[in-house]
Structure 1
């Protein structure tokens, strides 16, 4: 994707290969953004000197190991292999120039000048991170930046590669529309070619249309049935017609911001704005549907892909430039035989298309293809979207439920069939429960400067952290706001594992390493190398004691202390390696077990079988919410954000200002905030059965004095409870307040301030 004029960036995934066409006069850099990641560069060209200063000196191990297939990864591999074949290179003889090494610094780059046209293949060799060793180096992404020369033929630059072999594809030129037919089960990929370009989509049931009946996408029916403004990948991903029959399902979405309640642009809109006769989507659609006998309309309610609209606080419909970048797409699956039409919107009189209408591209794939259901997330505004992933435990959890939610880039179960949130909750409180928490972000912080970096960026005193110990801490901005709460594991003198909830945590650590001039520290994302389950509840120790083997020098499971960890094996000295920490998010005795994703299902099966005599149940996000609120455990976006300091968030105990002598990011601001507190986190117990929701206002009389951060109906207390950030003047235990619903005034829920945690305030159960 372009990052600035004439500069494009391509991502190379660990274990993958990225092919880029280059032309004489171009320049390109291969970048080891995270450090300690080798690269293999292969140049395919008629002229052996097409790329200066590249000499193949080793086997191209990644290229030699590629295996083509019908799934998406296999299709990508097949395309690479086809490129090799086109250039007369045998796969088993492919060679490459080796770049970087085990000690390359973060941000290392090598630059190359292109003399003649070529295809460059950049590969990132990868091997699994070993869970049971202290010295970790998870494989990481490489990036290729290409600076195009003045004479580079822009028309030769390609769209993103197809996801599979297309059955059909077409370019929708700027300011036009085209109709096409798809069969039930086939996939439609709609791509924004240049970025910030609205594309309206219409779809009719083809069979009904053949009978003279028009049943197309119905926004009102869709929004009512799914309970949201726009379908998104997952359970609420379908578009319906007026008969409540599904026509389309969203499979992937790399943008996320669309509109399903407004019209495609009309002649009247332009005329009313002073542009009579302006080309418009409605007239384009009328022409595109004419061959199908569809009656023309003066306005078409459409699915407006990439169109950035919203209702503001005054309920006014507003729009701005689309969020889409070049190559962004939405992938849909037809639920019936359809007649469709797509437009490249001609609007050039407002920000709908970034003021410059451009092209849209449509691809249709066969129904036998399989694509993962995913949402795209960008770590930074100019980053390539990363699609939602399944965890290593998905094969087991998906056999127990279809209720999954997209959580921080992973699919996690919300509740389980034949259990339900309350049964799952009680299993954790009374017996034992198991939960997939693989969405936690893990970062290996390695090197001689690792301790200094963490000491400077988190609130706890990392110098006091012993090997085998875990500490819960916060990471703050320079103004004292909480970026994330996290745990830090010390694996060795210079080896730490940082575990948080926000994928941006690693970028924050890298930025401060650079700011502080710490050149001997690597921050490597190990989230895809370590997946984990939480085994929580009074029987968790007995259950895991049967399964976890510890070598000499490591504590036995039964002896493991609170906030300590061991490195052992599953089932015995020859079993899969794992790490077990005595940590959790339930307020009960519990552990987290960390394994490589390749061993995830083996671990789940062992825990599931051993847990049967203990009444083990699976645990989803809905039950976890009840558990964590009762125990006053905080959550990002609820109890804290970058505008909330640790004291206001209820985790002031993570800020040892008196005993940590070293400076850290936000220390000066936190000293002042602690001396002059404005708000504090308290518990509320509500009258009646109504539940307070995040963001509800809290009043004493007319004045708002606080805001609800989280609220649930507590099963064990038989009452509605809430966490509330409130003005310190009204935080005394026993203070009566009212929680405002609706507009905050027409409905009030009486409540009283109570101590937190609501459940087990002395934390005797997790300490037991």
Structure 2
């Protein structure tokens, strides 16, 4: 994956990410500088260059020591380079270099200048990781500092286009699109808005204008703007869908404002200023569309903010160079796209630039996706499917994008209520592959984990797991997660936040620790088998080595390794439901076969698949914390209801220890359970009151099926956290309507965890 950024010197900088186990193609021009980084360490690289040369050392003196004349590119790379040489009639030889092949440290860099032009392929080789191994192939990063800034080009095509047109800054273009074809709208240089209009072509030919209607769309979709997944369509006033969103690499657009128009600029004191409305009127005139003074467009990349006071504000767009929205036409359309002309406020970053529009044939297969970035400057990565997706997709169309993965919310055959009862009474299987996994290895691995988390990792035995918090210096939480001890100097950190890996590497570098933190999320997918029949279903089908615990012998928060139907797995006695349960970890390639083996054993006992909707009911009943709800970086573990993860006896220094000691000595808020009167809906963010005074907030709530009442988790002022205390939940403006609630012990269900320990 490649993306472009402006460097501090004003020259053009390009960045590429080579996926672990993959390869990337790029070109170097004379005078370009190339920097290749192994951010996580221990990842070999193979650089193959096609260039005119007498010798590799003459071309690249800085890489002479890495030149391996006997290193042959893979067959696929060789075919690619040979095809490029033939197509471009490019004379030259292929030289290969072995990089980072000496057990490199995290952040190792190799940098060189290109005295001559070259076509390059960078490989990050690596085999599939076994679930009990810790050698995942990981990313290599490439930064190219161009010697001469080239004109801004749109990113690489997604497929051969039927139409490829440039919408120049402060202009608009109209075009036809056939039903089923795809429309890609690309922000070429970043921070540039693009208004989009679409009309039913058949109706337009009959003299009727039916275009995109934002009010109808917001009403039917229940969202501010459509996005990939269930709420993806844009409708006209007849409630007929005209387009659907397939991909979106930005996730922030506008459907509330008119396209910029002459009145806007007149009122600001810029009469006669170029504007999108007049540009649309001119572009659409040949198609018989009547002009308007202001067009109600869908404005992609426009950063509007609707505040709590109902005011609509705006700021610079979130879009970066190469960001795009990919739409699919649901009927024959006449479309128009603009490059917004606004240069008098932040709407286009004060500098209007070009937009690229491409149309691809309906037969092209594009996966749906939303861009996920680990950090603000990371390359975008589109939503991906888990290894279990072929099986879950056969059972439901109800998927939601969750932290870069598509996960099912419920299954159409039964629904969340049936899934819930199956977990409480029998067994369920759920896909939790979106969890982030990091392999922490090296002689200082224990020292790093001791410093990074609140639990005392020195007490963790091989084969044992501990649930813990990871905090900032302020005591606010980065994340919660589990630490697996695989060997004396080998740990696995499983959590929900990508940034944990970056933070662990930064912490290790700061303290000079010899340790590697390797991302293994894409090498290790997992399902949870939960419910009172979980052991009965799982034990007979797992074969474990004689020296390790069987499933029947496995204690709470322990793990073992083995095979299911010949598939290598790690089995841990962990879960997120409050029931007896296990998680089974495997390579994504083995996931469908693992799913089949589990259901062959579990279906006769009434086992069902379970989605996120039912999981939310289960985890709230069990009093289990969820990021963004029970905790954030301003909430400490005590306020999140997991103060038990901060043991008083840990003497080894760790990040946040001093702040947590202060917070524990002077608590201000705590997490409590609530029993709520009646059956009205309450939810995350609802305020809690004592009289006119707000004293807390609902963090999570659900209608408990097994308890037959509404329950909640809430963060309250410590003065109102006594069990039996009566408080009120504020609805409407918080004062016009109140719902009574009583503070109670939590977890609400099985508070002594008898079932999960069974």
Normalising by structure 1, what TM-score?
0.95
Q: CA deviation at 1:51?
A: 4.3
CA distance in 1, matches of 2:458, 2:72: 41
1:440-477 CA-partner distances (Å, limit 9, x unpaired): 00000111111111100100001111100000000001
Residue 29 of structure 2: aligned partner: 23
Q: CA deviation at 1:132?
A: 3.6
1:339-361 CA-partner distances (Å, limit 9, x unpaired): 11111111000000000000111
Residue 541 of structure 1: aligned partner: 535
Q: CA deviation at 1:64?
A: 2.0
Residue 725 of structure 1: aligned partner: 715
Question: Structure 2 vs 1, CA of residues 725 and 719 (structure 1 numbering), >3 Å: closer, same or farther?
Answer: same
- Is 1:644 the counterpart of 2:605? The answer is no
Residue 475 of structure 2: aligned partner: 480
Q: CA deviation at 1:8?
A: 2.5
CA distance in 2, matches of 1:63, 1:429: 52
Q: 2:300 aligns with which of 293, 299, 305?
A: 305
Question: Structure 2 vs 1, CA of residues 53 and 183 (structure 1 numbering), >3 Å: closer, same or farther?
Answer: same
1:272-316 CA-partner distances (Å, limit 9, x unpaired): 100000010001000110110100000001110110001112211
CA contact (8 A) 1:214 1:294 kept: yes
Q: 1:388 aligns with which of 368, 383, 401?
A: 383
Residue 57 of structure 1: aligned partner: 68
Question: Structure 2 vs 1, CA of residues 50 and 95 (structure 1 numbering), >3 Å: closer, same or farther?
Answer: closer
Residue 120 of structure 2: aligned partner: 120
Secondary structure in structure 1 of the residue aligned to 2:755: helix
CA distance in 1, matches of 2:601, 2:85: 50
Q: CA deviation at 1:80?
A: 6.7
Residue 703 of structure 1: aligned partner: 693
1:362-394 CA-partner distances (Å, limit 9, x unpaired): 111111111111000122211111111100000
Q: 2:5 aligns with which of 2, 13, 16?
A: 2
- Pairwise mapping of residues 145-164 of structure 1 onto structure 2 (< 5 A)? 145-149=143-147, 152-155=148-151, 158-164=153-159
- Is 1:523 the counterpart of 2:538? The answer is no
CA distance in 1, matches of 2:73, 2:249: 28
CA distance in 2, matches of 1:251, 1:21: 30
Question: Structure 2 vs 1, CA of residues 275 and 665 (structure 1 numbering), >3 Å: closer, same or farther?
Answer: same
Residue 549 of structure 2: aligned partner: 555
- Pairwise mapping of residues 216-615 of structure 1 onto structure 2 (< 5 A)? 216-518=211-513, 520-571=514-565, 575-615=566-606
Residue 623 of structure 1: aligned partner: 614
Question: Structure 2 vs 1, CA of residues 237 and 82 (structure 1 numbering), >3 Å: closer, same or farther?
Answer: farther
Secondary structure in structure 2 of the residue aligned to 1:555: coil
CA distance in 2, matches of 1:198, 1:153: 23
Question: Structure 2 vs 1, CA of residues 378 and 684 (structure 1 numbering), >3 Å: closer, same or farther?
Answer: same
CA distance in 2, matches of 1:693, 1:58: 64
- Is 1:144 the counterpart of 2:134? The answer is no
CA contact (8 A) 1:404 1:411 kept: yes
Question: Structure 2 vs 1, CA of residues 361 and 31 (structure 1 numbering), >3 Å: closer, same or farther?
Answer: same
Structure 2 gap ranges (5+): none
Question: Structure 2 vs 1, CA of residues 147 and 89 (structure 1 numbering), >3 Å: closer, same or farther?
Answer: closer
CA distance in 2, matches of 1:589, 1:58: 57
Residue 75 of structure 1: aligned partner: none
1:20-44 CA-partner distances (Å, limit 9, x unpaired): 2222222111111111111111222
Residue 104 of structure 1: aligned partner: 104
CA contact (8 A) 2:50 2:95 kept: no
CA distance in 2, matches of 1:710, 1:160: 42
Q: CA deviation at 1:14?
A: 2.0
Question: Structure 2 vs 1, CA of residues 716 and 80 (structure 1 numbering), >3 Å: closer, same or farther?
Answer: farther
Q: CA deviation at 1:257?
A: 0.5
1:483-515 CA-partner distances (Å, limit 9, x unpaired): 100000000111110000111111111111111
Q: 1:751 aligns with which of 719, 735, 741?
A: 741
CA contact (8 A) 2:48 2:73 kept: no
CA distance in 1, matches of 2:143, 2:171: 33
Question: Structure 2 vs 1, CA of residues 80 and 251 (structure 1 numbering), >3 Å: closer, same or farther?
Answer: farther
Question: Structure 2 vs 1, CA of residues 423 and 269 (structure 1 numbering), >3 Å: closer, same or farther?
Answer: same
Residue 86 of structure 1: aligned partner: 87
CA distance in 2, matches of 1:141, 1:622: 34
1:686-718 CA-partner distances (Å, limit 9, x unpaired): 110013210100011111111000000000000
Q: CA deviation at 1:334?
A: 0.7
1:376-434 CA-partner distances (Å, limit 9, x unpaired): 01222111111111000000001111001111111111011121111000000010011
More deviation, 99-108/269-278:
99-108
Q: CA deviation at 1:591?
A: 0.2
Residue 71 of structure 1: aligned partner: none
More deviation, 96-105/305-314:
96-105
CA contact (8 A) 2:427 2:530 kept: yes
- Residue-pair matches, total: 747
Secondary structure in structure 2 of the residue aligned to 1:208: helix
More deviation, 101-110/550-559:
101-110
CA contact (8 A) 2:49 2:95 kept: no
Q: 1:12 aligns with which of 14, 18, 23?
A: 18
CA distance in 2, matches of 1:488, 1:112: 40
Q: CA deviation at 1:162?
A: 1.0
Normalising by structure 2, what TM-score?
0.96
Structure 1 gap ranges (5+): 68-77
CA contact (8 A) 1:632 1:758 kept: yes
Question: Structure 2 vs 1, CA of residues 202 and 168 (structure 1 numbering), >3 Å: closer, same or farther?
Answer: same
Q: CA deviation at 1:18?
A: 2.0
Q: CA deviation at 1:84?
A: 4.7
Secondary structure in structure 2 of the residue aligned to 1:126: coil
CA distance in 1, matches of 2:42, 2:540: 38
Question: Structure 2 vs 1, CA of residues 200 and 715 (structure 1 numbering), >3 Å: closer, same or farther?
Answer: same
CA distance in 1, matches of 2:507, 2:6: 23
